[in-house]
Chains A and B, each alone.
Chain A
Amino acid sequence: MKILGVIRDDNYLEYLNEGLAGIILPLKDYSVDYFKYYNLLQIEGYKKSTDKLCFVVINKMIFNNELDSLSKVLKELERIKVDGVFFYDLAILNLVRKNHLNLNLIFNQTHMVANSDTINLYSSLGVKGAYLSNEITKKEILKIRENTKSDLFILLLGRAVAAMSRRNLLTSYFANKNKEKKDTIIIKEPKSKQEFLVIENKFGTSFFYNKILNLSNVYKSLDDSGINYGIIEQGNFKKCEYKELIRAFVNFDKEKIDKLAGHNRGFLYRETIYKVK
Chain B
Amino acid sequence: MKKIELLAPAGDLERLKVTLLYGADAVYVGGEKLGLRANATNFTKDELKEGCIFAHSLNKRVYLTTNIVFHDSDRINMEEYIKMAVDCGVDAFIVSDLYLAKYIIDNYKTVEVHISTQDSITNRESASFYRDLGVKRVVLARELSKEEIKEISSINNLETEVFIHGAMCTCFSGRCALSNYVTNRDANRGGCAQVCRFAFDYQDEDKFTLATKDLNMAMYIKDLIEMGVSSLKVEGRMRSLYYLATVIGSYRFLIDSIYDETLTDEKLLEYERRLDKVANRDTTSQYFNHLADVTDQYYTGRQEVSNQEYLGLIIGYDDELESIVLKERNYFKVGDEVEIFTPDGDIYPYKIDIIYNENNEVIEIARHPEEILKLPFKEKLKPYSMIRLINKR
Q: Are B294 and A63 in contact (CB under 8 A)?
A: no
Across-interface contacts of A110 in B (CB, < 8 A): 175, 177
Cβ A115 vs Cβ B182 within 8 A: no
Q: A64-B151, A90-B130, A165-B171 are in contact. Are A189 and B185 (CB under 8 A)?
A: no
A39 contacts chain B at the CB level, 8 A cutoff = no
**In the complex, how many angstroms separate the beta carbon of A198 from the nearest chain B beta carbon?**
8
Using A114-B70, A167-B292 as known contacts, say yes or no to A109 and B102 having CB atoms under 8 A apart.
Answer: no
**Contact present for B69 and A112 (CB under 8 Å):** yes
Instruction: Write the B199-217 contact mask toward A (1 if CB under 8 angstroms, else 0).
Output: 1111000101110100000
Which chain A positions have C-beta within 8 A of B178?
A: 162-163, 196, 207
Query: Residues of B within 8 Å of A, CB-based: how many?
Result: 73
> Does B280 lie at the interface of the complex (its beta carbon under 8 Å from any beta carbon of A)?
no
Q: How far is the CA of A44 from the CA of B298 in the complex (A)?
A: 44
Bound CA span A276–B184, Å: 11
Stretch touching chain B among A10-18, A214-222, A242-250, A267-275: A267-275
Name A109's contact: one of B123, B174, B187 (CB within 8 Å).
B174
Minimum distance in angstroms from B68 CB to a CB of chain A: 8
The residue among B99, B102, B152 with the most chain A CB atoms within 10 A of its own CB is: B99
Asked whether A111 and B69 contact (CB < 8 A) given A64-B148, A169-B297, the answer is yes
Name the CB-closest residue of B to A207: B178
Kindly specify which of B55-63, B71-79, B333-341, B369-377 makes contact with the partner chain.
B71-79
State the CA gap A247–B189 with chains docked (Å): 38
Check A173–B208 contact: CB distance below 8 A. Answer: yes
Tell me if B264 counts as interface (CB < 8 A to partner A). no
Q: How far is the CB of A220 from chain B (nearest CB, A)?
A: 23
User: Given A91-B129, A115-B74, A188-B201, do A163 and B171 touch, yes or no (CB 8 Å)?
Assistant: yes
Complex-state Cα separation, A220 to B73, whole angstroms? 24
Q: Which of A111, A115, A273 contacts B72 (CB 8 A)?
A: A115
Cα distance, A63 to B124, chains bound together (Å)? 8
A173 touches B69 (CB 8 A): no
Q: Which residues of B contact A163 (CB under 8 A)?
A: 170-171, 175-178, 196
- Is A168 part of the contact surface with B, judged by Cβ < 8 Å? yes
Is there contact, CB below 8 Å, between A94 and B128?
A: yes
Q: Which residues of A have CB within 8 Å of B208? A: 173, 185, 187, 198
Interfacial chain B residues near A260, Cβ < 8 Å: none
Within 8 Å CB of A165, what residues of B?
Answer: 170-172, 176, 210
Given A94-B125, A172-B297, A207-B178, verify A117-B71 contact (CB < 8 Å). no
Most buried by B among A61, A95, A192: A61
Q: Chain A nearest CB: distance from B52 CB in Å?
A: 24
Q: Which of B72, B102, B206, B209 is A116 in contact with, Cβ under 8 Å? A: B72
Q: Is the CB of B97 within 8 A of A118?
A: yes
B72 touches A144 (CB 8 A): yes
Question: In chain B, residues 282-326, which have Cβ atoms closer than 8 Å to a Cβ of chain A?
Answer: 287, 291-294, 296-297, 299
Complex Cα–Cα for A172 and B298 (A): 10
Most buried by A among B38, B141, B176, B210: B210
Please state if A67 and B186 are interface contacts (CB–CB under 8 Å): no
Q: Which residues of B contact A89 (CB under 8 A)?
A: 122-123, 126
Return B319 CB to nearest CB of chain A, in Å: 46
B180 partner, pick from A61, A117, A186, A272, beta carbons under 8 A: A272
- Closest Cβ of chain B to A4, distance in Å, is 22
User: Distance in Å from the Cβ of B66 to the closest Cβ of chain A?
Assistant: 14
Are A275 and B125 closer than 8 Å at their CB atoms?
Answer: no
- Determine the chain B residues whose CB is within 8 A of the CB of A189 once the complex forms: 182, 195, 198, 200-201
Q: Which residues of B contact A1 (CB under 8 A)?
A: none
Q: Are B75 and A115 in contact (CB under 8 A)?
A: yes
List, in ascending order, chain A residues with CB within 8 A of B189's CB.
272, 274
A61 pairs with B182, CB closer than 8 A: no
Knowing A89-B126, A115-B71 are in contact, say whether A122-B98 is a contact too (CB < 8 A): yes
Known interface pairs A122-B98, A274-B185; A63-B123 also in contact (CB < 8 Å): yes
Closest B residue, CB atoms, query A167: B292
Set of chain B residues within 8 Å of A167, measured between Cβ atoms: 170, 210, 212, 291-292, 296-297
For the complex of A and B, 5 pairs with smallest distance between CB atoms: A274-B191, A91-B125, A272-B186, A187-B200, A90-B126
Interfacial residues, chain B to chain A (CB-CB below 8 A)? 38-39, 68-75, 96-99, 102, 119-120, 122-126, 128-130, 132, 141, 143-144, 147-148, 151-152, 170-172, 174-178, 180-191, 195-196, 198-202, 206, 208-210, 212, 287, 291-294, 296-297, 299
